[in-house]
């Protein structure tokens, strides 16, 4: 299946046996190649895509499920989570780690996760047994009722992945996932406190009898550049049940606990054993907010001391990062952020790569910066835009000094106008009726405004 850039795919309402999801069966391929100017959007049937849907609308349809032929620790085909067992096209897993399920680029998946039954929801993006021949980068999952992105085994690499406002874990891997990725960004729903862990990381999360007795292959993905913005009361990353992994350049903020490594005696192989074997490494990770960076959860007398020494040697620290703003809020309607985040601070994933195509950027969630060095974080640009809504002429007042870049984005994230403006009064261009995002930036900071043209 080929989905052209700029396409909007809508899932019908329904739950249980009537749940709507897009499933790419094992052996099938999807080529959804959006661009920064023309992203591909998966959303629910009732989404007007005019900026009126609240950011935290969840569970309105299923999600996107990709099934491949790469290896898992099941030792053979398995039935994917979230799909009824009588669906004979919902199996995944095999022996081809180079399997190619297609391409996903500049794709935004929104408002999914409808329930099939009690505690049985569909993830925003499910990647089950997906092989390394698959190309995935610049993907966004917004407000899924269950997990954002979940990997069931496989060897796929996912780069530039944003998960925001999901009801459960942001990222989840299990069943021997051995791919990886770079620039992963999780933002949990602070205004409502929704969301569990930034990363729930297992080697195996199933009691199914066909899981290999030694749980091999173990989960050993490599992630470079991972930022988690929490809700204040949840873990950042939890490694357990046979999961290894190699995480570097991390930033965990507004969490109650940084990274926990489990060592449970009732598991065949827990994460602490993977750590001792060298299959679990952590380097250059900052955990803010005064909470412990690395915790041991087990009964070994020296477990905590071993991890503390490792953390000190490998730069896993509790500390602060200059310029970080890890708190945000939305307007009462939930349609636009009135207090944006700044995680473009030279540590972790950053957020500059989300600009121009994501739901989060459209709704003003992030400050707009061109580089870390360009931002004067002590102040922002004072912008007045009026009348707003407007039906004719509209003007913008800028501060009395400076040169500014003014960008206008459509409600789908496409850049539709850009100009350089001097201080003072600026006449806005004539635009068709719709909702736009106006971003004004300079060396003094930035500001984002919603502009409605009637």
Confidence (pLDDT) at 211: 64
Residue 230 and residue 257: Cα distance in Å, rounded? Answer: 10
Helices (H), 352-413: 359-362
Residue 108 and residue 138: Cα distance in Å, rounded? Answer: 9
**Helix, strand or coil for residue 454?**
coil
3-state SS of 306-335 is HHHHHHHHHCEEECCCCCCECCCEECCCCC
The DSSP code for 209 is: T
Residue 21 and residue 14: Cα distance in Å, rounded? Answer: 10
Residue by residue, DSSP assigns 250-274 as EEEES-SEEEEEEE-TTSSS-HHHH
| Residue whose structure tokens are 């966004």 | 140
Residue 209 has a CB neighbour count (10 Å cut-off) of: 6
| Cβ pair 370, 450 in contact under 8 A | no
Nearest to 252 by CA among 364, 173, 349, 139: 349
Confidence (pLDDT) at 413: 64
Could you tell me the two tokens for 153?
């085994």
Nearest to 63 by CA among 149, 1, 177: 149
Confidence (pLDDT) at 144: 97
Contacts of 275 (CB under 8 A, 6+ apart): 239, 244, 261, 307, 310
Contacts of 61 (CB under 8 A, 6+ apart): 10, 11, 12, 13, 14, 19, 20, 21, 43, 44, 45, 111, 112, 114
Residue 71 and residue 18: Cα distance in Å, rounded? Answer: 31
The DSSP code for 1 is: -
Confidence (pLDDT) at 290: 94
Residue 45 and residue 62: Cα distance in Å, rounded? Answer: 11
pLDDT digits (tens, 9 = 90+) for 425-438: 889 998 888 888 88
Phi and psi angles of residue 261, each rounded to the nearest 5 degrees, phi first: -115, 120
Phi and psi angles of residue 317, each rounded to the nearest 5 degrees, phi first: -130, 155
Stretches in the chain below the pLDDT threshold 70: 117-120, 205-214, 369-381, 411-413
Residue 61 and residue 28: Cα distance in Å, rounded? Answer: 22
Could you tell me the two tokens for 142?
């917004």
| Cβ pair 432, 453 in contact under 8 A | yes
pLDDT digits (tens, 9 = 90+) for 119-128: 667 899 999 9
Confidence (pLDDT) at 212: 63
| Residue whose structure tokens are 């939890």 | 238
């Amino acid at each position: 299946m080929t989905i052209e850039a700029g396409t909007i795919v809508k899932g019908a309402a329904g739950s249980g046996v009537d749940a709507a999801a897009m499933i790419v069966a094992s052996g099938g391929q999807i080529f959804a190649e959006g661009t920064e100017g023309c992203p591909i959007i998966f959303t629910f049937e009732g989404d007007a895509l005019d900026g009126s849907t609240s950011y935290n609308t969840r569970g309105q349809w299923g999600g996107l499920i990709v099934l491949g032929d790469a290896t898992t620790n099941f030792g053979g085909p398995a039935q994917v989570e979230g799909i009824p067992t009588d669906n004979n096209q919902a199996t995944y897993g095999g022996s081809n780690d180079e399997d190619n399920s297609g391409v996903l680029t500049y794709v935004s998946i929104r408002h999914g996760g409808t329930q099939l039954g009690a505690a049985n929801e569909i993830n925003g993006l499910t990647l089950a047994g997906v092989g390394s021949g698959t190309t995935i980068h610049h993907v966004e999952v917004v407000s899924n009722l269950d997990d954002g992105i979940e990997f069931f085994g496989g060897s796929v690499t996912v780069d530039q992945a944003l998960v925001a406002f999901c009801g459960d874990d942001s990222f989840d891997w299990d069943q021997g996932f051995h791919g990886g990725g770079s620039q992963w960004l999780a933002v949990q729903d602070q205004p409502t406190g929704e969301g569990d862990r930034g990363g729930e990381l297992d080697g195996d999360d199933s009691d199914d009898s066909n899981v290999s007795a030694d749980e091999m292959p173990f989960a050993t993905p490599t992630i470079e550049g991972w930022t988690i913005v929490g809700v204040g009361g949840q873990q950042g990353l939890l490694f357990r049940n046979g999961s290894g992994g190699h995480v570097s350049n991390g930033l965990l903020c507004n969490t109650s606990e940084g990274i926990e490594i489990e060592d449970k005696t009732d598991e065949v192989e827990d994460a602490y054993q993977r750590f001792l074997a060298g299959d679990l490494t952590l380097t250059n990770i900052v955990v803010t907010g005064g909470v412990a960076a690395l915790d041991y959860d087990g009964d070994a007398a020296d477990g905590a001391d071993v991890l503390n020494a490792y953390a000190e040697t490998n730069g896993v620290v509790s500390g602060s990062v200059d310029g970080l703003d890890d708190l945000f809020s939305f307007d009462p309607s939930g349609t636009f952020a009135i207090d944006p985040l700044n995680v473009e601070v030279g540590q972790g994933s950053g957020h500059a790569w989300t600009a121009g195509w994501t739901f989060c950027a459209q709704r003003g969630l992030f400050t707009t910066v061109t580089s870390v060095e360009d931002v004067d974080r002590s102040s922002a640009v004072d912008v007045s835009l009026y009348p707003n809504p407007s039906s004719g002429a509209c003007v913008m007042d800028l501060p009395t000094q400076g040169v500014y870049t003014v960008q206008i984005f459509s409600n789908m994230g496409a850049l539709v106008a850009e100009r350089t403006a001097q201080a003072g009064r600026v006449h806005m261009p004539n635009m068709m009726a719709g909702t736009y995002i106006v971003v004004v930036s300079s060396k003094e900071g930035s500001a984002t405004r919603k502009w409605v043209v009637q």
